[in-house]
Amino acid sequence: MSVVRTENIYKTFGTLEVLRDVSLTVDQSEVLAIIGPSGAGKSTFLRSLNNLEKITDGKIFIDDILVEERRHGHAVHKLPHKKHVEMMLKMGMVFQRFNLFPHMTAAENVMLSPVNVKKMSRSDARALAEEQLEKVGLSDKVNEYPAKLSGGQQQRVAIARALAMNPEIMLFDEPTSSLDPELVGEVLVVMKNLAKSGMTMIVVTHEMGFAREAANRVVFMADGMVAEEGKPEEIFTNPQNPRAKQFLKSIL
């Protein structure tokens, strides 16, 4: 069963075409890595899935339900607001920046959405926060404020915060790009464990090692389009697209 499907997605900012005819399907428990040069449209595609960016044309399906269809910038199909919110809550997202509230502890940051969105009691949300922080290896940091945490630890809190909403799919937008090199590994370990647990994941990343080891499928994007996709061993050992060959040769 497909968890996410897009058909012929286009996105323009003024005269700039950022996404061009992007059609992708992500199945349950699949880990899809999206790679490519800066400006390829990777992050815009991810942000379009959870409504942070409005597509210009195309269709977005979640759990095989048409969530949105737009033509020439106008909605021709959209779910009722309550149903749309319900579908968006199926996705958790982790950004490049951690966006933690500095005046809240790690646990309080994780508790925030369960309390405010799901109306969970503070005691239940606290127990949930401690459980999720333990999953990302931070059981000893539940009462620490972000300023006392390393970048890698803050990003792991951000992952725990997203997991606390019990999403069906996790979206990662270059989650290690703002980290010092020595801190990248601890975040990737958490992501690999998530992948092993069967979580459906779409990961925009520059970490080729992660894409090679943890992904079931790799998509190479360039100029707003899907230029090539396939199994990691195919993409990394024998890419067919000239842009993909050039990109991988320059970074590997």
Collapse the DSSP code of 203 into the 3-class scheme (helix H, G, I; strand E, B; otherwise coil) and give the result. Answer: strand
pLDDT tens-digit readout, 92-113: 999 998 999 999 999 999 999 9
> Encoding tokens for residue 110?
């994780």
* H/E run at residue 201: strand 200-204
Looking only at the bridges linking them, the beta strands covering 2-13 and 65-71 are unpaired
pLDDT tens-digit readout, 186-238: 999 999 999 999 999 999 999 999 999 999 999 999 999 999 999 999 999 99
Average pLDDT score, the chain: 96
**Nearest residue to 55 via CA among 7, 90, 87:** 7
Is residue 10 very low, low, confident or very high in pLDDT (cuts 50, 70, 90)? very high
Cβ neighbours of residue 24 closer than 8 Å, sequence gap 6 or more = 4, 5, 6, 32, 219, 226, 229
pLDDT tens-digit readout, 56-67: 999 999 999 999
pLDDT tens-digit readout, 231-250: 999 999 999 999 999 999 99
Predicted confidence at residue 252, as pLDDT, reads: 77
- State percent of the chain over pLDDT 70: 100
Residue 159 is which amino acid? I
Is residue 251's pLDDT more than 90?
Answer: no
Residue with tokens 């333990």: 134
Region 37-41: mean pLDDT is 95
Of the chain, the end-to-end C-alpha distance in Å amounts to 34
Q: In what order do the strands lie in the sheet with 225-230?
A: 91-94, 169-173, 200-204, 31-35, 217-222, 225-230
Cite the beta strand spans of 36-145 per DSSP E. 57-62, 65-71, 74-78, 91-94
| Per-residue buried b or exposed e for 1-31, using 16+ beta carbons within 10 Å of the residue's own CB | eebbbbbebbbbeeeebbbbebebebeeebb
pTM of the model: 0.95
- State percent of the chain over pLDDT 90: 97
How wide is the angle at C-alpha 209 spanned by C-alphas 208 and 214, nearest 5°? 105
